[in-house]
């Protein structure tokens, strides 16, 4: 019996290790980010407003996947959050920081490095670019 106990203990340890689920390590770009783009399209009206106002789009990266919901407000700004008129934001960030994201009929490509990056897309006012900053 003395010889059986160490063998059973060893078998139990191997079985226990087989049931341990490996934890997923956070990706290097996981966290909350924001895309900022200046106004575009030229000024109109007496107050010099642009046809395409500046935008700020928050998004989250989780295990290399871009996730979130965005909606336009009555004033045309874009906000994060799920609502009756929101649309999913989806995409991915590769290990090298290259990113591809879609929202409604917009397709954004970009590159993250450390806690910042750049993005570009075709908007209602033509080609647009923006800066990306990690906020958490």
Number of H helices and E strands in the chain, helices first, is 1, 11
- Residue 60 confidence (pLDDT): 94
CATH class of segment(s) 26-134: mainly beta
- Residue 104 confidence (pLDDT): 87
The DSSP 8-state label assigned to residue 90 in this structure reads E
If one counts every other C-beta atom within 10 angstroms of the C-beta of residue 116, the result is 12
Exposed/middle/buried for 12, CB within 10 Å: 0-12, 13-18, 19+? exposed
Cα–Cα distance measured from residue 134 to residue 93, given in angstroms and rounded to the nearest whole number: 13
Q: What is the pTM of this model?
A: 0.72
Q: How many Å separate Cα 44 from the centre of its chain?
A: 33
Both structure tokens of 53: 């106002």
- Residue 46 confidence (pLDDT): 63
Cα–Cα distance measured from residue 108 to residue 66, given in angstroms and rounded to the nearest whole number: 12
- Written as tens digits, the pLDDT of the chain (136 aa) is 555 444 444 444 444 444 444 445 568 999 999 999 998 876 666 666 667 788 888 899 999 999 988 887 777 677 778 878 888 989 999 999 999 999 888 899 999 999 999 999 998 888 999 999 999 7
Cα–Cα distance measured from residue 52 to residue 70, given in angstroms and rounded to the nearest whole number: 17
Both structure tokens of 80: 């994060």
- Residue 47 confidence (pLDDT): 65
- Residue 63 confidence (pLDDT): 94
């Amino acid at each position: 019996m003395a010889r059986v106990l160490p063998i059973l203990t060893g078998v139990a340890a191997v079985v226990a290790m087989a049931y341990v689920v490996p934890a997923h390590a956070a990706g290097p770009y996981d966290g909350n980010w924001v895309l900022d783009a200046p106004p575009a399209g030229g000024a109109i009206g007496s107050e010099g407003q642009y046809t395409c106002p500046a935008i700020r789009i928050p998004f989250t990266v989780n295990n290399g996947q871009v996730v979130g919901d965005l909606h336009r407000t009555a004033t045309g700004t874009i906000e994060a959050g799920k609502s009756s008129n929101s649309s999913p934001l989806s995409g991915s960030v590769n290990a090298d920081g290259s990113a591809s994201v879609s929202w409604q009929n917009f397709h954004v490509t970009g590159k993250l490095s450390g806690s910042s990056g750049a993005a570009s897309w075709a908007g209602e006012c033509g080609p647009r670019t923006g800066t990306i900053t990690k906020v958490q």
